[in-house]
Structure 1
């Protein structure tokens, strides 16, 4: 992903945290954000971040701080609400890729938000492989039907149990996505 233009960076600024908790100014904020988007757009680890973006540990720590503060959730909601000509839409692909990295830190609620907003590109894998919390909520409300009666009652009951097991497995997603699948999804 190319570096942020001044217009894109200024569109992003209202969503970014204020300066550091100690009140110090972050002089290279734009470069840090460029570094985050650079790492998010590739498959390389943080330690492979080019020097021009700053120290990899610092940029990684800032990414975690932004993630814990809910930046990516706020950006996704803003993307949903803003006009398609807004500068945020120009960097939407980078935002989605950063969200893929943030999913590990934010968990199921973040996945649920991504699915609810309809940004499937922000999921960290193919939709059928990623957990689907909406199925969990449906399963919680599911009332077990009364025990069937008749000659095939055992078969019908076992079919219901198998269906519930499949739904539960689908709701939980795949335990571990292979690296090739994750990289292909990017």
Structure 2
């Protein structure tokens, strides 16, 4: 198995820093058994391009680890971790998990949608984006473009003639690409 990021189990300091973000009760209200082991399994998978079924058995059943990832994603943990990385100092133990957290955010994009892209862009975490920044939608740019058009609405015809091509190109950037080739997505470490 090829690891894009070297995998090491969570240290005690890393686990102590990560635990408040991932420690959630099960839907039945029971505390989760061996949560640290599940997180190690999840992080093992995030360091590779492997599917969930290839999680090693020492981390538990692959379906259980995948289900826990989905629960954390639905609870917004990846967004919380991105915000924490932005707020915490450079020597904080979570910073050593930065690349793995970015890869988790990229995987969570399909479930969380545009919100995670907007957050990653605003925090300037381009590594957390699920593709190259120039191929992804930019909602903030669309707001600026609408504001620009509203300022020039009385002379809109002349404005479009003067800035038409640039506006068309910018509007294309706002919407992003419909399809990002898999080779480009996988090239992002």
TM-score (norm 2): 0.87
Secondary structure, in 3 states, of the residue corresponding to 2:135? coil
Confirm or deny: 8 A CA contact 1:17 1:66 kept in the other structure: no
SS of 1:142's equivalent in the other structure is: helix
**Greater than 2 Å deviation, 4+ residue runs:** 156-165
Equivalent position of 2:105 in the other structure: 99
1:157–1:171 Cα change, 3 Å? closer
Farther-moved stretch of structure 1 (174-183 vs 17-26): 17-26
Structure 1, unpaired ranges of 5+: 149-155
Asked if residue 177 in structure 1 is aligned to residue 180 in structure 2, the reply is: yes
Q: Where does residue 26 of structure 1 map in the other structure? A: 32
Shift of 1:18: 2.1
CA RMSD of aligned residues (A): 1.7
Question: Which of residues 152, 157, 167 in structure 1 aligns to 2:170?
Answer: 167
**TM-score, normalising length from structure 1?**
0.89
Structure 1 segment 39-78 matched on structure 2, within 5 A: 39-78=45-84
- Does residue 89 in structure 1 map to residue 56 in structure 2? no
Cα distance in 1 between the residues matched to 2:47 and 2:143: 33
Give the structure 2 partner of residue 121 of structure 1: 127
